[in-house]
Structure 1
Amino acid sequence: MKYPTLRAWCAAALLLPAISALAQSSAQPSAADARDALAKKEGEGDQSALLKQTLTAVDKQYSMIKKGQVQVTYDLNYAYIGQEKIVTDIGTAGLTLFEIENVSSHTVTNTISADYGILNNLTGNVTLPAISRYATVKGHSGISNSVGDIGLGARWQPIESRRDSANYTVTGNVRLPTGRSPFKIVSGSGQATGSGVTSFTGGLNINRIVDPVALFGSVSLGGSLPAKHLYQVTGTRILTRVAPGMNIGFGMGFAYALSYGITTTMSFQESISAGSKLRFADGLNAKTSTQTSGMLNFGLGYRVSPKTTVNVSVGIGVTADSPNMSLGMNLPLAF
């Protein structure tokens, strides 16, 4: 019978620690295993991409797509107004054209928008809204279902996007009076679904992503063509012409990525519109007061797939001329 030599015993003694370490590493997770488990998985995307998608949902003006690409988005919005200004009459005592009265207005807007990449830094846009509006005024109620005002727009990014600097986008939009005009509504025949005039808006948008936060802001200036050749009875007079005033708007906010799949947003938007000039058939000219609309918005974005983020938002009116409340949902459509 052969006994182990001294050399064999030494070799076994050297191998025992290595075998023991190997057994322990296979039985217990290491620090590297923990890091791998907590790391971002394939397909989750990154926070920067999620923040960009959230910015697109918050305001389409921030989105740019590559040349030749098409992007379609569906938006659903509900707005409630508890008080609004309505047309009454101009009497001998003075102007009472926009007297505040208690009304109830519920508006549901379904909007399909399509973006097309003309160039890598130039995007064209078309929006088609379908509006359902129900309102009660002085005991009378009415409902209207119609196409709203179709919008045509473009966005241009003069400077290439950089991760560590602000990004600028110049915007231009034209809104056509394809909806039901408020200047052609006969009392008791329904509600308006459009503005009744062609309007133009130009603006500048700025955003910067600093993970996990995206900051954004905007400023815009708009005007409208006058509505001519009208014949709307308002009390004892006939309205023949309306020239809306200029309007200026601004907004600011931020989006915060809570994780690789969830973001929150908060923003404030305000619009100041100068008074409209009115002309009546008997030669009387009048001007309405300036209106200020401000909204405070809160949103939540949820990434359901690497390419799709669903966003919901709630808005609260902070001025007398604003909707009392609004609810919205944004959903990108893939084809």
Structure 2
Amino acid sequence: MIFRTLPIAAAIAATLLALPAVAQQTTPAAAAPASADAARDALAKKEGEGDQSALLKQTLTAVDKQYSMIRRNQLSVTYDLTYAYVGEERIVTDLANGSTTLFNIENTSSHSVTNTFSADYGLLDNVTGNVTLPLISRYSDNNLSNGVSNSLGDLLLGARWQPFEAHRDTPNLTVTSNVRLPTGRSPFKIIAGSGEATGSGVGALTAGLSVNKIVDPVALFGSLNYTASLPAKHLWQVNGSRILTRVAPGGTLGFGMGFAYALSYGISTTISFQEAISAGSKLRFADGLEAKTHMQTSSILNMGLGYRISPKTTVNMSVGIGLTPDSPNMTVSMNIPLNF
């Protein structure tokens, strides 16, 4: 499982970059003496100048591109580029009549490049719809075969709802949900040596909560979600000496936390942690045998840097380190939000 953890604080970091802006303004050393009226004009907030409450509300209502809230009828487009590497040694066995008939150690490495295009549209001021389309290129090298697969990934349709208005002293809560459509190449229909899977092979529904709070100049955030998947039926995949006919994936519980910190008007940093715990999948074979896989735990630590190149665009870079055997060894991500 590959986490896309870079956007967790992308919008938060982008907003935090604006916080030091007022403090960085300087007054010319040779300024002329000012009258009382001129002093009042200088101290008054100029039109378009952001105050702390406006920045706070903007930050609290823009967690990341997955949970961000935008105003009604507004459109936000985001591009993500992610590279992930997975390397492992896998022991392959096949049991027939209660005895081991095959024992082999495979050295496997996988390189994945994912181009993700997502669009958010404000249905209401507190309800945002989302469409995410990934394009995946994957290269795998193992003892049996190697090659490159280029294909569409799984399409995501989602919505976010902010039930309460954001306030300065209270955390902001966002309810999230999305439907995953199995548009990518299914891992349950791949023939050995014919390429790599680029999708999950099953549809799924995810529901969760996201919470964030500003402790100027730091933004704290966390999330919790649960994913339930539909079973994959009517399969006919050769698996050792047996034929796989049905797979029922177990549920997945995910959670994450982190913070973003504005170093200056144009630079911010983020650190985040995410973990997913997946129950075992139930397998059914053509000869009537049923089996269940072990539970998997995938977690990753991300460190990111955001650079503000314009008032509406912040480029975010992130490096992720896998913390468990079920995680990618390394991920490198770039995120560019384009707001309209």
TM norm structure 2: 0.80
C-alpha distance in structure 2 between counterparts of 1:96 and 1:272, whole Å: 32
> Which is worse superposed, 159-168 or 188-197?
159-168
State the one-letter code of the partner of 1:238: I
Contact 2:213/2:219, CA 8 A, preserved across alignment: yes
State the one-letter code of the partner of 2:266: G
Which residue number corresponds to residue 308 of structure 1?
313
Describe the superposition over 1:100-144 as per-residue Cα deviations: whole angstroms up to 9, x where unpaired: 842110000000000010110000000000000000111521210
Contact 1:89/1:237, CA 8 A, preserved across alignment: no
> C-alpha displacement at 1:62, in angstroms?
3.1
Matches within 5 A, 1:206-217: 206-217=211-222
C-alpha distance in structure 2 between counterparts of 1:83 and 1:32, whole Å: 72
Matches within 5 A, 1:34-113: 49=55, 59-83=64-88, 89-93=94-98, 101-113=106-118
Q: Give the number of the structure with larger relative contact order, counting CA–CA contacts within 8 Å between residues 6 or more apart.
A: 2
Q: Which has the larger radius of gyration?
A: 1
Q: 1:315 to 1:189 in 2, by over 3 A?
A: same
Matches within 5 A, 1:134-145: 134-138=139-143, 140-145=145-150
**Alignment of 1:256 onto 2:261:** yes
**Alignment of 1:242 onto 2:247:** yes
2:205 to 184, 195, 200: 200
How many residue pairs align between the two structures? 300
Q: 1:257 to 1:141 in 2, by over 3 A?
A: same
C-alpha distance in structure 2 between counterparts of 1:219 and 1:32, whole Å: 57
Contact 2:90/2:107, CA 8 A, preserved across alignment: no
Which residue number corresponds to residue 278 of structure 1?
283
**Alignment of 1:150 onto 2:123:** no
Contact 1:177/1:195, CA 8 A, preserved across alignment: yes
Contact 2:207/2:225, CA 8 A, preserved across alignment: yes
Could you tell me which runs of 5 or more consecutive residues in structure 1 were left unpaired when the two chains were aligned.
1-26, 34-40
**Alignment of 1:298 onto 2:303:** yes
Contact 1:185/1:191, CA 8 A, preserved across alignment: yes
Matches within 5 A, 1:167-178: 167-178=172-183
> C-alpha displacement at 1:89, in angstroms?
3.6
Which residue number corresponds to residue 230 of structure 1?
235
Which residue number corresponds to residue 19 of structure 1?
none
Could you tell me which runs of 5 or more consecutive residues in structure 2 were left unpaired when the two chains were aligned.
1-27, 35-45
> C-alpha displacement at 1:209, in angstroms?
1.1
1:268 to 264, 273, 276: 273
> C-alpha displacement at 1:85, in angstroms?
6.1
State the one-letter code of the partner of 1:67: R
C-alpha distance in structure 1 between counterparts of 2:107 and 2:32, whole Å: 66
C-alpha distance in structure 2 between counterparts of 1:93 and 1:67, whole Å: 62
Contact 1:50/1:261, CA 8 A, preserved across alignment: no
1:288 to 275, 280, 293: 293
Q: Secondary structure in 1 aligned to 2:113?
A: strand
C-alpha distance in structure 1 between counterparts of 2:97 and 2:222, whole Å: 46
Q: 1:92 to 1:207 in 2, by over 3 A?
A: farther
More helix by share: 1
> C-alpha displacement at 1:45, in angstroms?
6.7
Which residue number corresponds to residue 23 of structure 1?
none
Describe the superposition over 1:162-209 as per-residue Cα deviations: whole angstroms up to 9, x where unpaired: 122100000001110000001110111110000000011110000001
Contact 1:114/1:125, CA 8 A, preserved across alignment: yes
Contact 2:276/2:298, CA 8 A, preserved across alignment: yes
Q: Secondary structure in 2 aligned to 1:184?
A: coil
C-alpha distance in structure 2 between counterparts of 1:68 and 1:263, whole Å: 29
C-alpha distance in structure 2 between counterparts of 1:301 and 1:84, whole Å: 36
State the one-letter code of the partner of 2:181: L
Q: Secondary structure in 1 aligned to 2:326?
A: coil
Describe the superposition over 1:36-62 as per-residue Cα deviations: whole angstroms up to 9, x where unpaired: xxxxx9999789859967995x84233
Which residue number corresponds to residue 39 of structure 2?
none
2:322 to 317, 320, 323: 317
Q: Secondary structure in 2 aligned to 1:128?
A: strand
State the one-letter code of the partner of 1:155: R
TM norm structure 1: 0.82
Q: 1:233 to 1:66 in 2, by over 3 A?
A: same
Q: Secondary structure in 1 aligned to 2:188?
A: helix
Q: 1:276 to 1:260 in 2, by over 3 A?
A: same
2:136 to 121, 131, 134: 131
